[in-house]
């Protein structure tokens, strides 16, 4: 889900990118990963060749996809290309176990978090949904980790309980046009609705959507 598609906000902020205040930080990437690992790690002895939720990928390849996207975000912040992704691909080793795929995901999330922590606040790098700063990539990384973690969990018959406060800040950062209208909605369900994963009362499931990678106001 390298968002190639079309809040529950709070006053909580963190400090990152060399001291700059951010509403979504590298610590949030760590929290998103911890939630996914807590859900999936007990199920690494199960068959990850089953479909991941409603996706066409199986659970194994969905994990591989998360690692590829998170590493892509890292490369964008490091290389800072204008108008394209860095030309590379990340893949899991054929025959890797489910536990090793989850380890792969964890490593790429932590690498992105490390780069977010050290990227100056004025840095921008290309994404199809706007020239993103470190906070934008952190927020997108949280969405990729949580939503695809949920896909894998669903495929394995599990339920992912995402951190609500984190989901609220991510929603506010990436979907500012929807945040206020969803203020009374469970933040995790609001984020799932905003990304076309579910319907809400009076709000049908979205078939087309986009998020805003660029800093708000740019």
Return per-residue pLDDT of the chain as tens, 218 residues.
Answer: 444 333 333 333 344 443 345 699 999 999 999 999 999 999 999 999 999 999 999 999 999 999 999 999 999 999 999 899 999 989 999 999 999 999 999 999 999 999 999 999 999 999 999 999 999 999 999 999 999 999 999 999 999 999 999 999 999 999 998 888 898 999 999 999 999 999 999 999 999 899 999 998 88
The residues, ordered by sequence, that sit 6+ positions from 57 with a Cβ below 8 Å of its Cβ are 51, 65
User: Based on the structure, what is the number of domains in the chain?
Assistant: 1
Look at residue 15 and give its three-state secondary structure: strand
CA dist 91 and 65 (Å) reads 8
CATH label of the domain that carries residue 172: 1.20.120
pLDDT of residue 180: 84
Look at residue 16 and give its three-state secondary structure: strand
State which residues form the domain around 22. Answer: 14-194
In sequence order, what DSSP letters do the residues of 30-91 get, joined into one string?
Answer: HHHHHHHHHHHGGGTTS-TTSB-TTSSSBHHHHHHHHHHHHHHHHHHHHH--SSS--S----
In a domain, 205, yes or no: no
CB 129 within 8 A of CB 73: no
In a domain, 212, yes or no: no
In a domain, 91, yes or no: yes
For residue 164, what is the DSSP state?
H
pLDDT of residue 22: 65
The residues, ordered by sequence, that sit 6+ positions from 202 with a Cβ below 8 Å of its Cβ are none
Region class of 17: left (phi > 0), else alpha (psi between -120 and 50), else beta = left
CA dist 31 and 34 (Å) reads 5
Look at residue 159 and give its three-state secondary structure: coil
Q: What is the pTM of this model?
A: 0.89
Tokens for 76? 């964008």
CA dist 167 and 9 (Å) reads 9
In a domain, 201, yes or no: no
- Distance from first CA to last CA of the chain, Å, rounded? 24
Look at residue 198 and give its three-state secondary structure: coil
């Amino acid at each position: 889900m390298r968002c190639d598609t079309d809040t529950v906000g709070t006053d909580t902020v963190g400090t990152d990118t060399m001291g700059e205040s951010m509403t979504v930080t590298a610590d949030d990437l760590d929290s998103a990963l911890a939630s996914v690992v807590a859900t999936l790690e007990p199920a690494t002895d199960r068959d990850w060749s089953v479909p991941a939720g409603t996706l066409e990928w199986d659970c194994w390849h969905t994990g591989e996809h998360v690692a590829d996207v998170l590493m892509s975000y890292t490369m964008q912040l490091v290389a800072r290309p204008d108008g394209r992704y860095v030309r590379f691909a990340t893949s899991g080793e054929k025959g890797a176990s489910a536990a090793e795929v989850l380890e792969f995901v964890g490593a790429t999330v932590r690498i992105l978090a490390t780069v977010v922590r050290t990227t100056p606040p004025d840095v921008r790098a290309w994404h199809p949904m706007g020239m993103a700063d470190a906070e934008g990539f952190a927020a997108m990384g949280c969405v990729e980790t949580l939503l695809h973690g949920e896909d894998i969990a669903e495929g394995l018959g599990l339920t992912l309980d995402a951190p609500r406060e984190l989901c609220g800040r991510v929603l506010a950062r990436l979907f500012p046009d929807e945040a206020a209208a969803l203020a009374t909605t469970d933040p995790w369900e609001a984020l799932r609705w905003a990304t076309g994963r579910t319907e809400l009362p009076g709000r049908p499931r979205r078939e087309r959507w986009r998020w805003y990678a660029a800093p708000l106001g740019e």
